[in-house]
Amino acid sequence: MRAMILAAGRGERMRPLTDTLPKPLLRAGGKPLIVWHIERLAASGFTDIVINHAHLGEQIEAALGDGSRFGLNIRYSPEPPGALETAGGIAKALPLLGRQPFLVVNGDVWCDWDFSRAHRRTPLLTGNRAHLVLVDNPPQHTGGDFCLDGETVRYASEATGPTLTYAGTGIFSPDFFASVPAGTVLKMRPLLDAGIARGLVTGERHTGRWFDVGTPERLAELDRDLKSELNPAP
């Protein structure tokens, strides 16, 4: 099973930090955000990773190389200035991701969801299907995105229980993106809406830790938390 880390975003809300450094290379707990993902993917049995990039992408390639120092193989999917949005970026990278379901992780989140769970979920993902990791709504997104009916993902507007937020981590069949021509600029939501309407999107609730590192303040908060764990007070 292969994994893709989404790293093409401009990181507008993180400026001026992202004026000279791509957002996935911002550091928290002593290492770049994207390295947390890579190390955890390697520890979970992944050997092949695809990373897309646009803004200052050459810095990402220079920092990570071919992945050999992490014990895996990294390939890159460069995008034009402005990037292709999430679905467009994944569609462009499909030739690198193979014909089996693959894991997708946003490069600007930090989460302790167990990536090895993706290996167990993959055999269930036949056809044009997707499986999303959902978390409790953070303070900056109290309305949520979706809800769960068993394992079936529904719209937040249909919720009879708690609404949840997409964690930026999911497992996707390549067929989920088959309708997107390579090079198209397309967000993920239209594909998710179509899949949810057909009952093709499942999900699970992650109750562990999750940070959407969307602002300098949240980056600083994550940095403090991770450093306090690595260097607990006596």
Lowest mean pLDDT among 142-156, 171-185, 200-214: 142-156
pTM for the model stands at: 0.93
Residue with tokens 């969307």: 214
DSSP assignment of 163-231 equals -EEEEEEEEE-GGGGTTS-TT----SHHHHHHHHHTT-EEEEEE-S-EEE--SHHHHHHHHHHHHHHHS
Nearest Cα residue to 201 out of 157, 163, 166, 161: 166
Percent of the chain scoring above 90 in pLDDT: 64
Per residue in 56-79, pLDDT (tens digit) is: 999 999 999 999 999 999 999 999
- Is pLDDT above 70 for 97? yes
Cβ neighbour number for residue 30 with a 10 Å cutoff: 11
Looking at residue 124, its pLDDT comes to 65
pLDDT tens, position by position, 212-230: 888 889 889 998 988 887 6
